[in-house]
């Protein structure tokens, strides 16, 4: 089978010209902006990187200068007479007091002064911060101190105890003999870091022993953004861009390792390029604005030119679309003396022809709409019928059990109170059966079929359906049935539909008019007819509507509440039955529908009233050997109980395979099987027996809780078999078994 050709998307001529031009106008400045942006970003990063490298050189050089300045400052301290005299005493306490006095005279940045003897032992000390661990400090500064003990000036920068220091160690001589070393440490304080920041034009951070020792960043801890670069196991020199506190920085991380074996520290220089970013953003916005303005102006010009060219085509297209929407009054002026003008003339002639036939088309559409509403309602009823038929089997099986066991209990000797309860159970179960039977009879689709029917039974079947709805709407149904009403030749299902339509209309009218609704159903006979009169105490029907009440699609209900087809269909059904239907009404006094149906032959009536005689309930037939097949355990228990009370021998099977096995082992006078079961169905069991044991097949009796369909009925007729519909009474079941036993 050939696949339909795929339709390509359709674009207007104006779109085909304008879109490529606009795309070109957009792409060209966008590409230019992208190149310029890349150049500016690269230039900004290069400048920031170069500035950061310069700042690093200034920073390292400043550390060396601070150390040299410290050495120059304290180199002559050891030559002062006072210090020489104190050191010559070689008294630790006296020297310690001297060092404390010396520390008090110095600036706050000078934190630690140590005196080490010629044997490298810490002899005296003074510290500004008691929290400083002098022993740890002396251990870290040991390489620098050792230079002084070797007679050389020791200088350096190191970190310990969460602080960074510039250190100078000066050898102490007495008469040309080395007697010790004086060590002075100056902390890199906040003031010192700010001075370094002013020199480098960058923020600084020093890090050692997993702690920030000095910083110009106003944060007590190491920012998370700097942790990868400052990690102590990372000794590489790293330049990274980061964003911190909403500001963009270029960072340079390195390790300061002074000469000698003493320990250094990690440092980070942060150069903000936020100002450059703002300048770059402003440049981008300026370029973008100029580009957009250029695109807008260029696009507007192109659009204007193309519109001038395509205006006649657009006018023709709009007119054609208007005609497609049903506006046949649209006309096109002859805007040019060429082929486009000829098309306009042809278009105007076409709209004149279409306008002339529009009225007929609208009438046809209205007819289709009303027919569609009728079909939708029909489909709804069909769906209800299918649903009800589907659940009938599931309802009829438990109803069979309830009815059967309640009848067994009714025949037992029980106390009056218990018997009253059992009677109520049996009555309610039979009522459920009547409701299900009525719903099935009304909702299923049937071929028209005329046969003898009892009008009272038809009315009662409809009442079973609407009884609950009537009660809940405070409407009382009153039956005034004539005794011994003759049967009529009619289609029961069609008459049910008529009665239901009239009762539904009466309910809707009465419940909206008064709170104590009342509908009276009265039957009787005349010389030629059986009639039924349905009268309500609603608002009645206005006189001007009485002659139109049976017209198709006529309704006084609001939109969506009715189609106007119910009474029209009812009128047609009664006409097909050769009957009459009319309505009488006075405003405010309700409405009364009178239906008359022709009488039938009395002989046919008499023959139809003869009931099929069954075995009396109290009789005691000959004992039979019976096999009962059903997938419902409760049905098997009921049937087994009834048959054993009659003296029959009973075997049961819950499926077809088990039943065939039992039939192969022994002879049964009667085989009672459910029609629809999992596995083998009743028909399949019969067909198997017909091939292997024809005698047993002839003794089969079917029972079913499902609707007896035409195919099943044809099967029963073809083979001369019977089917007992569920739910059944014990009397009906015993009578069916007795008939089966008498045919042996």
**Cα–chain-centroid distance for residue 318?**
42
Domain final residue pick, 221, 255, 272: 272
- Predicted confidence band of residue 384 (pLDDT cuts 50, 70, 90): low
- Predicted confidence band of residue 59 (pLDDT cuts 50, 70, 90): confident
Q: Would residue 24 count as lying in a domain?
A: no
Convert the pLDDT of each residue in 91-115 to its tens digit: 888 888 888 888 888 876 788 999 9
Convert the pLDDT of each residue in 29-46 to its tens digit: 788 878 887 888 788 878
Indicate whether 605 pLDDT > 50: no
- How many CA atoms lie less than 13 Å away from 579 in the CB half-sphere? 26
Domain final residue pick, 272, 305, 325: 272
| Greatest pairwise CA separation for the chain in angstroms | 164
pLDDT at position 534: 94
pLDDT at position 564: 59
Lowest-pLDDT choice from 143-157, 170-184, 371-385, 441-455: 371-385
- 456/573 same-domain check: yes
pLDDT at position 367: 66
Omega cis (within 30) before 727 = yes
Whether the Cβ atoms of residue 461 and residue 438 lie closer than 8 Å to each other:
yes
Indicate whether 612 pLDDT > 70: no
- 472/561 same-domain check: yes
Question: Distance (Å, rounded) from C-alpha 187 to C-alpha 669?
Answer: 119
Convert the pLDDT of each residue in 109-129 to its tens digit: 788 999 998 888 888 988 888
End-to-end CA distance of the chain, in Å? 62
CATH number of the domain that residue 635 is part of: 3.40.50.2300
Domain final residue pick, 234, 257, 272: 272
Number of domains in the chain: 4
- 98/163 same-domain check: yes
Range of the domain at 250: 47-272
Question: Distance (Å, rounded) from C-alpha 120 to C-alpha 287?
Answer: 70
Rg (CA), the chain: 56
- Predicted confidence band of residue 614 (pLDDT cuts 50, 70, 90): very low
Indicate whether 615 pLDDT > 50: no
Convert the pLDDT of each residue in 423-439 to its tens digit: 778 777 777 776 676 56
- 648/580 same-domain check: no
Q: For residue 31, what are its two tokens?
A: 């590409």
The mean pLDDT value of the chain amounts to: 79
Q: Would residue 42 count as lying in a domain?
A: no
Indicate whether 347 pLDDT > 90: no
- 209/104 same-domain check: yes
Lowest-pLDDT choice from 250-254, 299-303, 461-465, 525-529: 299-303
- Predicted confidence band of residue 442 (pLDDT cuts 50, 70, 90): low
Q: Which residue has the higher pLDDT, 71 or 363?
A: 71
Whether the Cβ atoms of residue 109 and residue 133 lie closer than 8 Å to each other:
no
- Predicted confidence band of residue 595 (pLDDT cuts 50, 70, 90): very high
Q: Would residue 411 count as lying in a domain?
A: no
- 77/223 same-domain check: yes
Three-state DSSP state, 721: coil
Burial 82-115 (b: 16+ CB within 10 A, else e): ebeebbeeeeeeebbebbbebbeebeebbbbbbb
pLDDT at position 608: 38
Q: Would residue 203 count as lying in a domain?
A: yes
Helices and strands in the chain, H and E counts: 22, 22
- How confident is the model over 164-182, as a mean pLDDT? 87
- 75/183 same-domain check: yes
- 460/330 same-domain check: no
- 557/655 same-domain check: no
Q: Are strands 670-674 and 700-704 parallel, antiparallel or unpaired?
A: parallel
Q: Would residue 33 count as lying in a domain?
A: no
Q: Look up tokens 């002098």; give the residue.
A: 134
Lowest-pLDDT choice from 319-328, 497-506, 549-558: 549-558
CATH number of the domain that residue 263 is part of: 3.30.450.20
Whether the Cβ atoms of residue 166 and residue 185 lie closer than 8 Å to each other:
yes
Burial class (CB in 10 A: 0-12, 13-18, 19+), 472: exposed
Q: Would residue 378 count as lying in a domain?
A: no
φ, ψ for residue 522 (rounded to 5)? -125, 135
Q: Would residue 21 count as lying in a domain?
A: no
Whether the Cβ atoms of residue 189 and residue 181 lie closer than 8 Å to each other:
no
- 129/253 same-domain check: yes
Question: Distance (Å, rounded) from C-alpha 186 to C-alpha 733?
Answer: 118
pLDDT at position 377: 56
Convert the pLDDT of each residue in 4-35 to its tens digit: 555 556 666 667 777 787 788 778 878 887 88
Beta bridge partners of 598: 529
Side by side, the strands of the sheet bearing 649-653 are: 649-653, 625-629, 670-674, 700-704, 723-725
Three-state DSSP state, 125: strand
- 582/670 same-domain check: no
Indicate whether 1 pLDDT > 50: no
Whether the Cβ atoms of residue 250 and residue 148 lie closer than 8 Å to each other:
no
Q: Would residue 541 count as lying in a domain?
A: yes
- How confident is the model over 319-337, as a mean pLDDT? 72
- 97/237 same-domain check: yes
């Amino acid at each position: 089978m050939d696949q339909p050709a795929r339709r390509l998307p359709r674009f207007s001529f104006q779109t085909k010209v304008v879109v490529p031009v606009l795309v070109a106008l957009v792409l060209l400045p966008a590409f230019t902006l992208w190149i310029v942006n890349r150049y500016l970003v690269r230039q900004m990063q290069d400048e920031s990187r170069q500035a950061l490298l310069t700042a690093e050189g200034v920073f390292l050089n400043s550390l060396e200068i601070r150390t040299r300045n410290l050495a120059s400052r304290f180199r002559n301290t050891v030559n002062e007479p006072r210090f020489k005299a104190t050191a010559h005493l070689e008294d630790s306490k006296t020297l310690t007091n001297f060092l404390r006095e010396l520390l008090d005279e110095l600036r706050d940045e000078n934190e630690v002064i140590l005196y080490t003897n010629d044997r490298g032992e810490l002899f005296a000390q003074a510290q500004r911060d008691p929290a400083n661990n002098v022993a740890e400090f002396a251990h870290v500064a040991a390489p620098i101190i050792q230079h002084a003990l070797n007679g050389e000036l020791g200088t350096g920068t190191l970190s310990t105890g969460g602080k960074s220091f510039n250190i100078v160690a000066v050898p102490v001589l007495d008469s040309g003999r080395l007697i010790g070393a004086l060590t002075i440490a100056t902390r890199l304080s906040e003031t010192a870091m700010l001075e370094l920041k002013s020199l480098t034009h960058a923020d600084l951070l020093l890090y050692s022993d997993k702690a920030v020792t000095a910083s110009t960043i106003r944060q007590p801890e190491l920012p998370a953004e700097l942790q990868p670069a400052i990690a102590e196991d990372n000794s590489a020199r790293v330049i990274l861009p980061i964003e911190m506190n909403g500001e963009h920085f270029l960072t340079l991380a390195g390790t300061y390792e002074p000469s000698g074996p003493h320990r250094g520290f990690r440092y980070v220089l942060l150069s903000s390029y936020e100002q450059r970013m703002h300048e770059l953003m402003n440049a981008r916005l300026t370029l973008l604005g100029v580009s957009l303005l250029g695109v807008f102006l260029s696009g507007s010009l192109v659009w204007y030119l193309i519109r001038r060219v395509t205006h006649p085509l657009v006018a023709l297209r709009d007119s054609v679309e208007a005609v497609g929407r049903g506006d046949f009054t649209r006309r096109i002026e002859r805007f040019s003396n060429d082929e486009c003008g000829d098309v306009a003339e042809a278009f105007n002639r076409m709209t004149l022809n279409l306008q002339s036939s529009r009225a007929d088309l609208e009438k046809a559409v209205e007819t289709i709409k009303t027919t569609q509403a009728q079909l939708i309602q029909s489909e709804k009823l069909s769906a209800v019928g299918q649903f009800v038929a589907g659940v009938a089997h599931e309802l009829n099986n438990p109803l069979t059990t309830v009815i059967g066991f309640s009848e067994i209990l009714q025949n037992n000797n029980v106390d009056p109170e218990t018997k009253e309860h059992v009677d109520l159970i049996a009555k309610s179960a039979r009522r459920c059966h009547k409701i299900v039977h009525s719903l099935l009879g009304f909702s299923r689709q049937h071929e028209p079929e005329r046969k003898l029917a009892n009008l009272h039974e038809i009315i009662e079947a409809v009442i079973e359906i609407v009884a609950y709805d009537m009660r809940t709407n405070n409407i009382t149904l009153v039956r005034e049935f004539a005794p011994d009403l003759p049967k009529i030749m009619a289609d029961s299902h069609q008459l049910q539909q008529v009665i239901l339509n009239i009762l539904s209309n009466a309910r809707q009218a009465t419940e909206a008019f008064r709170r104590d609704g009342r509908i009276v159903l009265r039957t009787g006979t005349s010389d030629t007819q059986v009639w039924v009169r349905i009268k309500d105490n609603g608002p009645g029907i206005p006189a001007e509507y009485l002659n139109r009440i049976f017209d198709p699609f006529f309704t006084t209900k609001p939109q969506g509440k009715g189609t106007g087809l119910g009474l029209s269909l009812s009128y047609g059904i009664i006409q097909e039955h050769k009957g009459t239907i009319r309505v009488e009404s006075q405003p405010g006094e309700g409405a009364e529908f009178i239906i008359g149906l022709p009488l039938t032959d009395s002989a046919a009536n008499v023959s139809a009233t003869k009931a099929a005689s069954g075995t009396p309930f109290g009789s005691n037939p000959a004992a039979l050997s019976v096999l009962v097949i059903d997938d419902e355990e409760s049905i098997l228990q009921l049937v087994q109980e009834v048959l054993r009370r009659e003296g029959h021998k009973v075997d049961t099977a819950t499926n077809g395979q088990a039943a065939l096995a039992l039939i192969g082992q022994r002879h049964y006078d009667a085989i009672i099987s459910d029609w629809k079961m999992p596995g083998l169905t009743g028909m399949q069991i019969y067909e198997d027996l017909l091939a292997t044991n024809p005698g047993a097949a002839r003794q089969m009796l079917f029972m079913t809780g499902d609707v007896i369909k035409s195919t099943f009925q044809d099967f029963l007729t073809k083979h001369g078999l019977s089917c007992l519909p569920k739910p059944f009474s014990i009397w009906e079941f015993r009578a069916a078994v007795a008939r089966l036993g008498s045919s042996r």
